[in-house]
Structure 1
């Protein structure tokens, strides 16, 4: 079977299959599930990929990530980059290259694969309510090419078609706020508990102490109140899309 035939069989592009074969990128869990369904191997591709992902996750995060998968509501604020659950693969690849200095292409691809699989939370039978507040600097700061940025921001439009998802932009005109320079994700669980993941430089810090979680809830609420309403936020997103499209076409 040629590479083109294999790509056609799986309904993937030849370029995407070539990247997987060369190790420039790793399969997502969705792709591994497709391989299992089509070829029914004795050792499942999903099991092999899960082992790769497990090796990438820091010990302090291994108990936290299942809580993200099980959350009934997710609230996220980011100050300078697109939230992980909203990143396109190309944006995630460019961003990962920046902060994994000296890493091999395979190591970077593995990290991006893990990031993409975390987005499967949106495809549960009962997906969480998702609320993102994004500082305008994340839209203005170009990661990769103008085309990468335009595609990334178009992805926002696809996300907010679902009424369970809401994206608000905190504009430069809002001035200072308590979350400048950092990011936080709040995962609200079915049992009523809330846990937080606070990120700046290096690995994220899990937070489960109720007083500290309440503190980050307050910071998130402050940022949300200063952010633009969803429709006005969409106008800003589309303005940046137009600017990046014009730059890409120049």
Structure 2
């Protein structure tokens, strides 16, 4: 049985809980697939719990305690690992994003969160919550900007974004905010920190017109797909489903402008927003 002490929230509780799960599983002589069968989940789901890329929900914590004979250890300690600064529907995806080695994202209606500027994020948060106090908006903006720090590393994770032209044409926060937002994307692309492609209007219909798709790869866990809508989100680890969305992403990338032509379009749009602002 894992140690009797509660996990320390200041010491990466998700990672500690995952390590304890792996220890308890191996002590019970079970593979990830075998334990998954007992919980009616996939072996990859158990692997993601052990790697810390998935949150341990209450029902699974209870079942783990029963199957592994760990008393109430996982039920008692899951609370420390479940705390998050993000909305419930996005918390698990945000935490997985921070551990990913590669992120591929298609954005249909707005600039992806990892590429946003504070002013653009502020306009988006205000649109989501038009009656919220300024303090709440600033708190959400700070949380969103904190996510972007994963790009401080010059090489990882790989970030490849395909952005629908509609997201770049929608004037969010005004021409000045849009010009600044596009300059930020251009800077990241010029520094080879991210790959950016624009899916133009003339590409026509495509398989992801109803929402965004985010694919995440990890060194120590199976890949994940995240689908997001208005106030909702779903993280999927089913290999067939992830493969299907990966095909969608590859189709979108093939239909989009090349990185070089995308950069030229972004620069032209930035000039247009500058002229509009001055006018």
CA contact (8 A) 1:95 1:143 kept: yes
TM-score w.r.t. length of structure 2 = 0.67
Summarize the Cα distance change of 1:95–1:237 in structure 2 as closer, same or farther, 3 Å threshold. Answer: same
**Structure number, greater radius of gyration:** 2
- Write the distance in 1 (CA, Å) between the matches of 2:175 and 2:154: 35
TM-score w.r.t. length of structure 1 = 0.74
Matched, 1:146 2:175: yes
Residue by residue, what CA displacement relative to the aligned partner does 1:115-163 show, whole Å, maximum 9, x if unpaired? 1011111123752111000000011110011000000000111111232
Which residue among 224, 239, 242 is the counterpart of 2:253?
Answer: 224
Deviation at 1:179, TM superposition (A): 0.7
Aligned residue in 1 for 2:130: 101
Number of corresponding residues:
198
CA contact (8 A) 2:225 2:236 kept: yes
The residue correspondences of 1:24-39 to structure 2 (distance < 5 A) are none
Summarize the Cα distance change of 1:101–1:67 in structure 2 as closer, same or farther, 3 Å threshold. Answer: same
Aligned residue in 2 for 1:173: 202
Runs of 5+ unmatched residues, structure 1: 1-50
CA contact (8 A) 2:115 2:185 kept: yes
CA contact (8 A) 2:102 2:216 kept: yes
Summarize the Cα distance change of 1:117–1:247 in structure 2 as closer, same or farther, 3 Å threshold. Answer: same
Higher RCO, 1 or 2 (CA under 8 Å, sep at least 6)?
1
Summarize the Cα distance change of 1:78–1:231 in structure 2 as closer, same or farther, 3 Å threshold. Answer: same
Deviation at 1:104, TM superposition (A): 1.5
Runs of 5+ unmatched residues, structure 2: 1-79
CA contact (8 A) 2:151 2:193 kept: no
Summarize the Cα distance change of 1:60–1:147 in structure 2 as closer, same or farther, 3 Å threshold. Answer: closer
Summarize the Cα distance change of 1:164–1:244 in structure 2 as closer, same or farther, 3 Å threshold. Answer: closer
Matched, 1:235 2:268: no
CA contact (8 A) 2:89 2:232 kept: no
The residue correspondences of 1:6-155 to structure 2 (distance < 5 A) are 56-59=85-88, 61-124=90-153, 127-155=156-184
- What is the root-mean-square deviation of aligned Cα atoms in Å? 1.8
CA contact (8 A) 2:84 2:91 kept: no
SS at match of 1:176: coil
CA contact (8 A) 2:227 2:234 kept: yes
Residue by residue, what CA displacement relative to the aligned partner does 1:66-122 show, whole Å, maximum 9, x if unpaired? 321111111010011101100000000001100123221111111111110111111
